[in-house]
Amino acid sequence: MAGGRPSTGEDQLRTTLGAIAGRWTSILLITALTVAVVAAVAAVVPRQYTASTDLLLLQVDEAGSAGSPGERAIASYAAVLEGRTLIGSTEGATDVEVRATPREGADVIRLDVRADTAREAAAAATALGNRFAAWLDLEQPEAGPQVSSQVISPAGAPDSPSRPDWPTWLAIATVVGLVVGSVRAVFRGVPPGVVDTSAQAKEILGAPVLASVATDPDVRTRPLLSDLEPHHPRHEALRILRTNLQFLDVDQAQQVITVTSALPGDGKTTTTCALAQAIAETGRSVVVVEGDLRRPRLAEMFGIERTVGLTTALVGRIPIDEAVQASGTPGLDVLTSGALPPNPTEILQTTAMARLVDGLRDRYDVVLIDAPPLLPVSDAALLAALSDGAIVLVRHGRTRADELELAAERLRAVDATVLGTVLTMTPRREARRYGYGPEGSTSSRQRGTRRAAR
Ligand SMILES: Nc1ncnc2c1ncn2[C@@H]1O[C@H](COP(=O)(O)OP(=O)(O)OP(=O)(O)O)[C@@H](O)[C@H]1O
Ligand SMILES: [Mg+2]
């Protein structure tokens, strides 16, 4: 069996890139939607037009020689051009936006005037240029150097609007769409450290993936297969599991099987009961045994009495045949917990328990033990050791690789055989990616299995 993979930066990068590559269609869709929304907004915002003109500033001193007014003076003239005083006193320029930018390395100011129409913008730019020239004439002291302004490129009416700025808006929308789509893809993926692919589960447990059971929103109200129609996805998944178990059976009989997982709430009880029903559907006799003597749930699942069961039989008060109860599904019996003992771990290690399992082996075609989780207590490992093998569930998006490692170690420590793993609560849309992951998409074996399962 391969060892564990520590979570490295490289792993995380691979996971992130994998999530993006795996969801590129939704990323493109989000980008297209963002661009469409921005384009729709751009189509309705009022258009504006910008007309531009260049003003050359020339300084002539008292001796009549021409020179530059200097950087500071040019910056001040730009401020004058943008100031409300000049704009307010220029006919046709009162409702426009003005930007005056000194051109670097030249005595030139670029004047950009934005208005609601192209003609208005051009007229206002021309008027403002003229008004500025007049202002220079009027406002300068008579003595000292004189600065004058000349239009070196007159303002023409622009052909196309400057607002909305389509190229910029669309470029920003594309970038925002790509970023939002990628972040969503990464965060919708499994959190770092969590088992992400069937190949990883297989590698850690050293056993094949037997099935993938998708999240079923109805599971609380309809946990049993008998509650579901035959073509319900969960029913089909359980049939695949049943068939794959039969494939394992070809070499070596797997009659007593413990179902467990690393932690509570991974779907063990739900899966065990449904699997038992799926096996009973084929006409074989099955018994489900309550292996969780701390928080038993089997009786509740089948709606039967809990007070008579495993512990009642173990302490010898009644024979096995009287301890098991009919489940309501033909061919399927249930051995509930019986009274809860104060020392479950010790009870499971007794020879009486081993004898009880042998007794069930003699009476039923298949014995399924619904075990507690492996990590919190040693009960599940003990039950797996009494069985022909264990099925270890891996819950999508929750079972961590390091916890699964530890669970596998617990089973190895008692020489238990891991028959395989079942992925539970996989996202329905991702069931294929997750369940039949990078080992080679939907393998021919699994496709064959699907057919065989019907
Ligand atoms: N395929 C599924 N889709 C959605 N919910 C599920 C599915 N399988 C199980 N659940 C839900 O997950 C919860 C835990 O399930 P279950 O009791 O079977 O887990 P468990 O591993 O036996 O837990 P514990 O370790 O406490 O015994 C339950 O609320 C159950 O309804
Ligand atoms: Mg349980």
Please, are residues 404 and 205 in contact by the beta-carbon 8 Å criterion?
yes
Whole-number Cα distances in Å, 30 to 175, 249, 292, 321: 11, 48, 47, 61
> At 127, is the pLDDT very low, low, confident or very high (cuts 50, 70, 90)?
very high
Q: Establish whether residue 425 lines the binding site of ligand 1, counting it when its CB lies within 6 angstroms of any ligand atom.
A: yes
- Per-residue pLDDT, 294: 96
CA of 221 to the centre of ligand 1 (A): 12
- The DSSP code sequence of 439-454 is TSSS-HHHHHHHHHH-
d(CA 238, CA 241): 5
Q: Is residue 56 part of a domain?
A: yes
- Which one-letter DSSP state was computed for residue 295? S
**Same structural domain for residues 172 and 105?**
no
> At 431, is the pLDDT very low, low, confident or very high (cuts 50, 70, 90)?
low
Q: Which of these ranges, 13-27, 51-65, 234-248, 291-305, has the smallest mean pLDDT?
A: 13-27
**Same structural domain for residues 109 and 180?**
no
Please, are residues 335 and 302 in contact by the beta-carbon 8 Å criterion?
no
**Same structural domain for residues 393 and 367?**
yes
Q: Which of these ranges, 29-33, 215-219, 325-329, has the smallest mean pLDDT?
A: 215-219
Q: Which atom of ligand 1 is nearest to the CA of 370?
A: 22
**Same structural domain for residues 366 and 350?**
yes
- Per-residue pLDDT, 433: 47
**Same structural domain for residues 123 and 21?**
no
Mean pLDDT for the stretch of residues 385-404: 94
Asked if the peptide bond before residue 164 counts as cis, ω within 30 degrees of 0, the response is yes
**Same structural domain for residues 286 and 373?**
yes
CA of 219 to the centre of ligand 1 (A): 8
Which residues, including other chains, have CB under 8 Å from residue 317's CB and lie 6 or more apart? none
- Per-residue pLDDT, 7: 45
Comparison of pLDDT for 20 and 109, the residue scoring more = 109
Q: Is residue 40 part of a domain?
A: yes
Which residues, including other chains, have CB under 8 Å from residue 198's CB and lie 6 or more apart? 209, 212, 421, 423, 434, 435, 436, 437, 439
CA of 291 to the centre of ligand 2 (A): 9
In Å, how far from its chain's centre is CA 249? Answer: 37
Looking up residue 395, the CATH number of its domain turns out to be 3.40.50.300
CA of 280 to the centre of ligand 2 (A): 20
**Same structural domain for residues 243 and 327?**
yes
Q: Establish whether residue 277 lines the binding site of ligand 1, counting it when its CB lies within 6 angstroms of any ligand atom.
A: no
Q: How many residues belong to the chain?
A: 454
> At 193, is the pLDDT very low, low, confident or very high (cuts 50, 70, 90)?
confident
Please, are residues 162 and 116 in contact by the beta-carbon 8 Å criterion?
no
Q: Establish whether residue 272 lines the binding site of ligand 1, counting it when its CB lies within 6 angstroms of any ligand atom.
A: no
Q: Establish whether residue 269 lines the binding site of ligand 1, counting it when its CB lies within 6 angstroms of any ligand atom.
A: yes
**Residue nearest atom 12 of ligand 1, based on CA coordinates:** 267
- Per-residue pLDDT, 348: 96
Q: Is residue 177 part of a domain?
A: yes
**Residue nearest atom 25 of ligand 1, based on CA coordinates:** 264
Residue 130 has pLDDT above 50, yes or no: yes
Please, are residues 282 and 246 in contact by the beta-carbon 8 Å criterion?
no
> At 429, is the pLDDT very low, low, confident or very high (cuts 50, 70, 90)?
low
CA of 375 to the centre of ligand 1 (A): 17
Which residues, including other chains, have CB under 8 Å from residue 395's CB and lie 6 or more apart? 261, 263, 265, 266, 267, 423, 424, 425
**Same structural domain for residues 337 and 439?**
yes
Q: Is residue 3 part of a domain?
A: no
Average pLDDT, the chain: 89
CA of 430 to the centre of ligand 2 (A): 25
> At 266, is the pLDDT very low, low, confident or very high (cuts 50, 70, 90)?
very high
d(CA 256, CA 360): 9
Q: Which atom of ligand 1 is nearest to the CA of 292?
A: 27
Whole-number Cα distances in Å, 386 to 279, 297, 418: 21, 21, 13
The number of folded domains in the chain is: 3
CA of 317 to the centre of ligand 2 (A): 26
Q: Which atom of ligand 1 is nearest to the CA of 263?
A: 25
Q: Is residue 160 part of a domain?
A: no
- Per-residue pLDDT, 248: 86
**Residue nearest atom 31 of ligand 1, based on CA coordinates:** 220
Residue 24 has pLDDT above 90, yes or no: no
Closest CA to 245 of 434, 442, 418: 418
**Same structural domain for residues 16 and 73?**
no
Q: Establish whether residue 260 lines the binding site of ligand 1, counting it when its CB lies within 6 angstroms of any ligand atom.
A: no
Looking up residue 94, the CATH number of its domain turns out to be 3.30.70.1130
Please, are residues 59 and 68 in contact by the beta-carbon 8 Å criterion?
yes
Comparison of pLDDT for 18 and 410, the residue scoring more = 410
Residue 326 has pLDDT above 80, yes or no: yes
- Per-residue pLDDT, 176: 97
d(CA 266, CA 429): 19
Q: What is the largest CA-CA distance in the chain?
A: 128
Mean pLDDT for the stretch of residues 184-201: 79
Residue 236 has pLDDT above 50, yes or no: yes
Taking each helix axis from N to C end, the angle separating 268-281 and 233-249, rounded to the nearest 10 degrees, works out to: 70
Q: Which atom of ligand 1 is nearest to the CA of 266?
A: 21
Which residues, including other chains, have CB under 8 Å from residue 345's CB and lie 6 or more apart? 377, 378, 379, 382
Q: Establish whether residue 373 lines the binding site of ligand 1, counting it when its CB lies within 6 angstroms of any ligand atom.
A: yes
Q: Is residue 31 part of a domain?
A: yes
d(CA 308, CA 401): 38
Residue 126 has pLDDT above 50, yes or no: yes
**Same structural domain for residues 139 and 169?**
no
Q: Is residue 4 part of a domain?
A: no
**Same structural domain for residues 141 and 36?**
no
Q: Which helix (H) or strand (E) holds 358?
A: helix 351-363
Q: Establish whether residue 376 lines the binding site of ligand 1, counting it when its CB lies within 6 angstroms of any ligand atom.
A: no
- Per-residue pLDDT, 371: 98
Ligand 1 pocket test, candidate residues 220, 234, 241, 269, most atoms within 8 A of CB: 269
Q: Establish whether residue 424 lines the binding site of ligand 1, counting it when its CB lies within 6 angstroms of any ligand atom.
A: yes
Q: Is residue 339 part of a domain?
A: yes
d(CA 173, CA 331): 62
Question: What residues make up the domain containing 118?
Answer: 49-153
CA of 369 to the centre of ligand 2 (A): 10
**Same structural domain for residues 268 and 124?**
no
Residue 5 has pLDDT above 60, yes or no: no
